[in-house]
Amino acid sequence: MYSFELERPTRLADAVKLLSDSTESLPLGGGQTLIPTLKQRLASPERLVSLAGIAELKGVKTEGGTLTVGGGTPHATVAAEAGAYPALAALAGNIGDPAVRNRGTIGGSLANNDPSACYPAAALASGATLVTDRREIAADDFFQGMFSTALDEGEIITAVRFPIPEAANYQKFEQPASRFALVGVFVAKYPDGVRVAVTGASEEGVFRWSEAETALSADFRAEAVQGLSVPAEGMIGDLHGSKAYRAHLVGVMTKRAVAAAKG
């Protein structure tokens, strides 16, 4: 590690000001990604602005058909309080280990956009809206490639709005050491169609599988995606699984998610 300033504001307005004061400042959520990044010297900000003490960034609430989660809400809280969206609650309850779930936040995970993280698949499959201190961003426009998002420098995710689907499920084939997704598929059925988002598989990060969406919108059964596949080209290949293996898993996990969503 190296020396840096640590600020702990208790109001969002103060955090925004601190971040705007210097281009060498970074927001700190739960630190589950940023702290290891600093240890590896992959980032070297002069100042960290902790969001952990800002109460207005935390909480889960349901209004009508929308579940809203504060950007600073820990995974464990989402797991316990997002009962109106069971698939999202189950996803949050299976992230990492208890230490990670009690420190890591939904906003931090989405802002980092790790190619194997779970929340990006939930946001994209749900057609969620990411609310920041400056604007609202549709999930379809938010994710822009591995570790890349539409966020501007110093922009803070304050909340995420999830339209609650008729049926949904997330299936994750875990890398056993990290519990990140080797491949994870989130399927969500809405009145106007089905959305399918895949994480952990692609070199470009989370993506929608449009061919499966078309098939499942016409026939919401696991059998509807039988014979469909994503190309191995562009998939991640590493010591945990080849490109072809991950491409195959996308189909397998999609079928499992659909079958579980139907219940």
Q: Is residue 46 part of a domain?
A: no
- Helix, strand or coil for residue 149? strand
The CA-based dihedral angle spanning residues 19, 20, 23, 26, taken in that order and rounded to the nearest 10 degrees:
10
**Alpha carbon distance 186, 121 (integer Å):** 6
Contact 119, 142 (CB under 8 A): no
- Residue 2's CB: how many other CB atoms inside 10 A? 9
Contact 123, 165 (CB under 8 A): no
Q: What is the DSSP letter of 31?
A: -
Q: Is residue 229 part of a domain?
A: yes
Q: Is residue 252 part of a domain?
A: yes
Q: Is residue 67 part of a domain?
A: no
Q: Is residue 126 part of a domain?
A: no
Task: Write the CATH number for 189.
Answer: 3.30.390.50
Q: Is residue 27 part of a domain?
A: no
pLDDT of residue 36: 78
Element at 2 (helix H, strand E): none
| Residue segments in the chain with a per-residue pLDDT below the cut of 50 | none
Q: How many domains does the chain have?
A: 1
pLDDT of residue 88: 98
pLDDT of residue 1: 58
Residue 198's domain spans which residues? 167-262
Contact 28, 50 (CB under 8 A): yes
Q: Is residue 190 part of a domain?
A: yes
Q: Is residue 235 part of a domain?
A: yes
